[in-house]
Structure 1
């Protein structure tokens, strides 16, 4: 059969309802410049560009967006900016120091005309400016910390269709002996995301404390909660405890708080000998204990590796953790 080259068969694929097109961008531009959709897009775009090299210029633009709440009585635009910064800090733990600096600068330079009539200060006046920014940020940190990492709740995820349910059932069946969610299932990714954000929250809290946005009392309360269960500890709480003490241990371990720190580390030594704690977490606990014994100075081999290696330390830790998991 000879087919003429002039005859062409055109197959048209069905168009998706939420497909991308330049017309969708035009519709977004038609929306008001201060609408929540535009604020989220602009702030997220600026946060994706944030880097220590361009910190001043990007942070000034973020502060300008937060100052748009000057025309509001509830600070909703500034709340949007805080939410975006907070979520970014939780997802990108290695940039927690940069996001902490950003929050400190925003607290210092936010306009005093930004206020919320629903929040009052000690004098009974509406909270405004940096005081209001700090109140918003600390409330969000407290809510997420008290709620926990949500690892158990993350398993209850609605499935998209029957095919997904079938695939997840097969994944779970392979791990019935360990009662863990199957690899590549929605439950697995949800749990990993919850753990990643939980550790990101801990490091972010430590950076805020180093910048004097959080008090020592709040840090001690966090440590006490993470050490609440010694007999049957949660793995996420132990790992978060080690992260927090590694971040702020040098600053928190003062003569005034020496008695509290001694109690914390005595409990950590008990955890390191507990049979309910796996080997990886026992090694993490022992590393933090030895770090304090050295006066919070890291081993010389780590300092030499940081000076010689062309890769950043968080990336090296990631690679070694994968190697350790395979062993």
Structure 2
């Protein structure tokens, strides 16, 4: 190995000679060996000014403002608990949520309505947990303390409190989300769908696939799909609330009537919401006392299914609901039941 002579390329030799010349110049410099001066050649920095809307850590905020029942704190705590809520941890987490719902100042119901709104907001983004959140609302109503709201009074002009106030809040929110927010979003979705289906050939393809692929590149399409998911989640949650007797049968019939109000020029979001609601609570609504009303609903549903103004996907969806009622509200994939159970359902 010692006899081997290494051969350096011309380019390496050139760079090596340049480095040696640079080191030689630095050694002969009068400042060679002196420590570098930090900040040399830079101008002094002006200190930062504290703005009025600057970010402040939460811990520092609560040290300055020790209001433990502030709306910001309640929202933060309840959101965190709702994110942790599962069927396995339902009892412990729901108790903590109810604890925060009962923290109203001097019996005021504003904290309660704030917690219920957070539950509704969570429901619209969750797909398969409507039943769990309905159970949460039922438990909240049973364990709520007698908070009141001066703006909501009974016939005797006295503020209602406790369970009655909770039911009033719940009904008002269902109406608000169902009528205002859902149908406003529905109009946006319909406008986006119309824009995406402007071309006749594209519209025919979309009718066959049951989607709006033409609008995939538009913000309106994604906004419409988000509104659609939130609306269907809300419809399912309303049905689950009715299952646990948190909403009245009258309110549910009002929802069905509103969804069936336009069969000449129907909107797909209304049809899909109608099918979702009937799949969720159709069996509970189809009682002997309401049989005549349900017959009227399904007569209109059959007319709607035969209309040429809806897509093939909507026609099949309506047909599934019709067949579901014909099977006495039993799913095709339901477990086997006895004849006595079928007779009991028929009665």
1:202-233 CA-partner distances (Å, limit 9, x unpaired): 11111111111111111111111100001111
Deviation at 1:153, TM superposition (A): 5.7
Aligned partner of 2:127 in structure 1 is: 93
Structure 1 pair 212/174, CA: closer, same or farther in 2 (3 Å)? closer
Deviation at 1:70, TM superposition (A): 4.7
Looking at structure 1, the residues matched to 107 and 187 of structure 2 have their Cα atoms a distance apart, in angstroms, of: 36
- Picking from 133, 156, 176, the partner of 1:143 is 176
1:16-71 CA-partner distances (Å, limit 9, x unpaired): x9xxxx96342454343212211111100000011111111111111111111152
Structure 1: state its 5+ residue gaps.
8-16, 156-171, 305-327
- Picking from 110, 121, 129, the partner of 2:162 is 129
Deviation at 1:72, TM superposition (A): 4.7
Deviation at 1:266, TM superposition (A): 1.0
Task: Report how many aligned residue pairs link the two structures.
Answer: 274
1:49 and 2:47 matched: no
Aligned partner of 1:24 in structure 2 is: 57
Looking at structure 1, the residues matched to 321 and 61 of structure 2 have their Cα atoms a distance apart, in angstroms, of: 50
1:204 and 2:237 matched: yes
Aligned partner of 1:102 in structure 2 is: 136
Deviation at 1:182, TM superposition (A): 3.4
Looking at structure 2, the residues matched to 199 and 134 of structure 1 have their Cα atoms a distance apart, in angstroms, of: 22
Matches for 1:171-186 after TM superposition, within 5 Å: 177=199, 182-186=215-219
1:232-271 CA-partner distances (Å, limit 9, x unpaired): 1110000000000000011111111111111111111111
Q: Check whether the contact 2:186–2:269 (CA below 8 A) recurs between aligned residues.
A: no
Deviation at 1:184, TM superposition (A): 4.6
Report SS of the residue matched to 2:95: helix
Please say which structure displays the higher CA radius of gyration: 2
Looking at structure 1, the residues matched to 173 and 301 of structure 2 have their Cα atoms a distance apart, in angstroms, of: 28
Aligned partner of 2:23 in structure 1 is: none
Give the TM-score, by structure 1 length. 0.76
Structure 1 pair 289/174, CA: closer, same or farther in 2 (3 Å)? closer
Report SS of the residue matched to 2:151: strand
Deviation at 1:176, TM superposition (A): 5.2
Aligned partner of 2:6 in structure 1 is: none
Q: Check whether the contact 1:63–1:106 (CA below 8 A) recurs between aligned residues.
A: yes
- Picking from 39, 55, 60, the partner of 2:95 is 60
Report SS of the residue matched to 1:295: coil
Structure 1 pair 282/212, CA: closer, same or farther in 2 (3 Å)? same
- Picking from 322, 325, 328, the partner of 1:292 is 325
Aligned partner of 1:219 in structure 2 is: 252
Q: Check whether the contact 1:149–1:195 (CA below 8 A) recurs between aligned residues.
A: no
Q: Check whether the contact 2:239–2:277 (CA below 8 A) recurs between aligned residues.
A: yes
- Picking from 223, 226, 235, the partner of 1:193 is 226
Looking at structure 1, the residues matched to 173 and 196 of structure 2 have their Cα atoms a distance apart, in angstroms, of: 38
Q: Check whether the contact 2:186–2:227 (CA below 8 A) recurs between aligned residues.
A: no
Report SS of the residue matched to 1:117: strand
Q: Check whether the contact 1:272–1:282 (CA below 8 A) recurs between aligned residues.
A: yes
Aligned partner of 1:250 in structure 2 is: 283
Structure 1 pair 154/29, CA: closer, same or farther in 2 (3 Å)? farther
1:71 and 2:106 matched: yes
Report SS of the residue matched to 1:39: helix
Structure 2: state its 5+ residue gaps.
1-14, 20-35, 37-49, 204-211, 337-347
Give the TM-score, by structure 2 length. 0.71
Report SS of the residue matched to 1:150: helix
1:270 and 2:303 matched: yes
Looking at structure 1, the residues matched to 72 and 117 of structure 2 have their Cα atoms a distance apart, in angstroms, of: 14
Structure 1 pair 90/55, CA: closer, same or farther in 2 (3 Å)? same
